[in-house]
Structure 1
Amino acid sequence: MSTTLLRSAPALRGALRAGAMKPAAAMASTSFVRGKATLPDLPYDYGALEPYISGKIMELHHKKHHQTYVTGLNSALDTIAAGDPLKAAAAAPLLNFHGGGHINHSLFWENLAPASREGGGEPDGALKKSISEDFGSFDTLRKQMNTALAGIQGSGWAWLVKDKTTGTLSIATRANQDPVSGNLVPLLGIDAWEHAYYLQYENRKAEYFEAIWNVVNWKTVAGRFEKA
């Protein structure tokens, strides 16, 4: 996970990953506002993922959509810190939505890399072994992930996750910006919101789901797998 995300609202990250927002009175704790969330820098240029993801999509996705989640998260945190129970209760859904959007996208940018560098190909080492054990093959994982993505009604995400207790891998989908939480650790996420692909792929989202595998940063995914 990026250091930018770790610095911004650390208690929020813990609350989200615990699986649910706290009651309004508890959320008013100043521990939720030790730092402002900030938009993380991308580790590559906007056009670096072409032709698989256009530079225009990446710029809008990062500078506009992710920034909206950052702004909304900070606003919700400020409302909760003010201590009014009624306003804090009203801000709770916004905290979950914008906080989840910030977490999901911060992970997502690190999931990607130019095909000319670390992007694409297949995982190796312990991650490859675990994928073979839990899915049968990498190709099966990719097909199952794309099927899960295609099955999302409306907006959401599909994640390759690791169970912290059993160590097994599986695929999990989440609606809207709900983050992966509880006993599951997110390793690889693919954004199925229209803003992630529509300018380039229009209604052909299945093409986007196929194309994005060419820019998956398996080094990052393997690092999360090993730390989980």
Structure 2
Amino acid sequence: MTSPHGQALETAADGLPAGLRRPWQRSLTLALLAVAALLSLALLYTRLRNPQGLLGTAYPPGTVAPPLAGTGDDGQPLALSAFKGQTVAVFFGFLNCPNICPTTLAALERVRQTLPERQRKDFVSLLVTVDPGRDTPAELRSYVRYFSPDARGLVIPKTPLRQAAAAWGVGFEYSNVTAPDRYDVNHTTGVYLVDRAGNRRVVWDYTQLNLTDRIAADVRTVMR
């Protein structure tokens, strides 16, 4: 194509001279390229952070689980380190929890049942109570064993409990207090999977716990 003065003009693929292309077309192209680049970076980051394709949010390799220590559901001293060699699903809850805690224990037991029988003893659910003022070790034992013969409970006194929970990224608070032993407890609902070396590998959101097969796949991957 030539200009009115006989000069040659570069013709774009859309049939318009390059100098006459609409500005919004250039902007749209640049925007699409930028979005594609961001998506590629996000995908790359996800694959680097979670190369095994775990359902939950994966931790960087070598993320050591913060310590947990107190009184076990059998009345004896118990620490998370005692489970070394096993895979532990840790979550924070309490016995008067109306739905989240029992639902979580039931979901984890369904996952345990999907494992080969030889591996079931190596998968433990550990409930750390955020209500040590009311939850006794004996009551905790009856509660967790109702859901699974291998589940465990842990009672940590209030002051070290605050510190331990904060190290795990867990929050809890007491509300609607009407008496020293009558109150509600609000708490974080994530479940943290700790591998046999004592590293945190993945955290599942409460809303993911109904995906039994996907959660079980995460557990089998971590147990390898």
The two structures have a TM-score, normalised by structure 2, of 0.25
The two structures have a TM-score, normalised by structure 1, of 0.25
Higher strand share: 2
Higher helix share: 1
